[in-house]
Amino acid sequence: MSVLSAQKMVEKWNIFEAELPGPSAGNPFTEQKIEGMFCSKNEEKTVAGFYDGEGRYKVRFMPSFEGEYKYELKASFLSETETGTFMVTAPGEGNHGPVRVADTYHFAYEDGTRYYSIGTTCYVWTLQTDELPEQTLETLKNSAFNKIRFCIFPKHYDYNLDEPASYPYEGTPCDSSVLTKENFQEYSGCAPGNDWDYYRFNPVHFQKFEAQIKNLMELGIEADIIVMHPYDRWGFSEMPAKCDDLYWNYVIARLSAFRNVWWSLANEFDLLSKKSDADWERYAKIICEKDVYNHLRSIHNCKSFYDYNRPWITHCSIQRQDIYKTGELTDEWRLRYKKPIVIDEMAYEGNIQHGWGNISGRELVRRFWETTCRGGYAGHGETFLHPEDILWWSHGGTLHGESPKRLKFLYQILSEIPNARGLAPKKMNWDEVAAVPDTTMGADDYYLIYYGFNRPSFRTYKLAKDRSYEVDVIDTWEMSVENKGIYSGAFTVELPGKEYMAVRIKRVK
């Protein structure tokens, strides 16, 4: 037996993959084991492989350095170690490596390029049928979104009662024809009629899932993968610990070599009534041990926050806890956790009946700016009633709201911060939400001041007398930037007395 296929050349931060033939008898998922050791002059890593169905086993590896790598593959079904070499070339255009935490509160790709997160959520877009997933990719391509949150498991919830395109396990689902908008909540957890083998994965489900991760990677979009969630009628949210662990190991073996992966242990973890903090800590331990690339890790709340102080949590993935204050609490959370603040759910633009899914585009964009000017990152979602119940928030498709193009504009503003820095909240006037760059480097050279629903007709700023500052008035809703000229010392800027204005001050001398 020998390696069926293996690359000879791979781009840094892309995936080297080796495929081996092996036994399909018995249960390959539990009875067989495969791993690879990878070695170059800069790194040495051992990663688990996985069974991909039809007698095929795979080992994936993401190299972090250029140059020659050697590898050894060992498997329970191999009598000898398979070895080989490959070359790692320079990263291609748009390949900046995995996203890492930078400057305590921010993110940068591994090559140092700043990453300003503008996230969105399409929970089960990869599990939709027909042309919908392709349409979603097309929509993403034309948007500012550079992170998307989505689930591995299918979703059972209001507007989500159809069968998914595939299931993660071998078996048969319960009968969904009995479900209605009125009764679906009675079928939660493992509904009667399910017949799954939680020890046998369905490789096709994962193949399709990871193909979409790759598609996102090519669009420069981070895949914030929700590994567990409570919206369930199949029992995937209440499997025995042994099956959970098997699942976590399988997911990590398959997906961790994708550079754009972020781990979200769960969405609304506190709604998974069968899981305890000890379970979450155990999953976290598995990730920390098995994901040799140290992808970003977090866990998303419904009501109560998980303890974001836990050392394995790289950033806060927050659902707002207050109906009125969302982004407004960013600076408090920064102080409390000393990690990047990502408010992944702060209510969605839309008009559905649920209170988390019916705010206006204006309000959502306001929340993004509030978050941004307090040194955090916000997340988008969209939930408009649709004749075929296709809601971006869960199914993807096309966008109907007013916020996405304003978020593109916000991204543009962020990308113009001198020296590509992150923002930190700054106390200026009591009614201003003001930000300056988050590092001390180049202090007093940039201010971004947001007025939200306040509508001042003018504002006086007091800056250094011996310096010069260029002032722009930004209409965050109309997406315009008006240059007001150069000022020094104390100066007054006229403003249009409208909502949603910002002032940008850049030191020029």
Tokens of 431: 């009614």
As measured in angstroms, the least distance from the Cβ of 302 to a copy of itself is 11
As measured in angstroms, the least distance from the Cβ of 403 to a copy of itself is 13
Instruction: Indicate the residue among 5 and 351 with the shorter CB distance to a copy of itself.
Output: 351
Cα atoms in the Cβ-side hemisphere of radius 13 Å centred on 242: 6
Query: 504 has which bridge partners?
Result: 448, 472
Rounded to the nearest 10 degrees, the angle between the axes of helix 241-255 and helix 277-290 is 30
Tokens of 187: 């079928």
Residues 384-423 contacting a copy of itself, CB under 8 A: 385
Range in contact with a copy of itself (rule: CB under 8 A) among 83-91, 210-218, 335-343, 353-361: 353-361
As measured in angstroms, the least distance from the Cβ of 459 to a copy of itself is 6
Instruction: Indicate the residue among 90 and 430 with the shorter CB distance to a copy of itself.
Output: 430
Instruction: Indicate the residue among 142 and 492 with the shorter CB distance to a copy of itself.
Output: 492
Q: Does 360 bind a copy of itself (CB under 8 A)?
A: yes
Instruction: Sort 434 into a burial class: Cβ within 10 Å, 0-12 / 13-18 / 19+.
Output: buried
Range in contact with a copy of itself (rule: CB under 8 A) among 29-37, 117-125, 141-149, 426-434: 426-434
Contacts of 229 (CB under 8 A, 6+ apart): 123, 151, 153, 155, 237, 266, 267, 268, 272
Q: Using CB under 8 A, which of 188, 249, 358, 439 touches a copy of itself?
A: 358
Contacts of 188 (CB under 8 A, 6+ apart): 156, 232, 233
Backbone φ and ψ of 245, nearest 5°: -65, -40
Instruction: Sort 88 into a burial class: Cβ within 10 Å, 0-12 / 13-18 / 19+.
Output: buried
As measured in angstroms, the least distance from the Cβ of 411 to a copy of itself is 24
Helix (H) or strand (E) holding 271: none
Q: Using CB under 8 A, which of 94, 192, 388, 430 touches a copy of itself?
A: 430
Instruction: Sort 508 into a burial class: Cβ within 10 Å, 0-12 / 13-18 / 19+.
Output: exposed
Q: Does 158 bind a copy of itself (CB under 8 A)?
A: no
As measured in angstroms, the least distance from the Cβ of 352 to a copy of itself is 6
Q: Using CB under 8 A, which of 54, 440, 457, 509 touches a copy of itself?
A: 457
Q: Using CB under 8 A, which of 228, 313, 359, 373 touches a copy of itself?
A: 359
Q: Does 65 bind a copy of itself (CB under 8 A)?
A: no
As measured in angstroms, the least distance from the Cβ of 435 to a copy of itself is 16
Q: Does 4 bind a copy of itself (CB under 8 A)?
A: no
Please give the Cα distance from 486 to 506 (Å, whole number). 9
Residues within the interface to a copy of itself (CB under 8 A): 323-325, 328, 350-356, 358-360, 363, 385, 429-432, 453-460, 497, 499
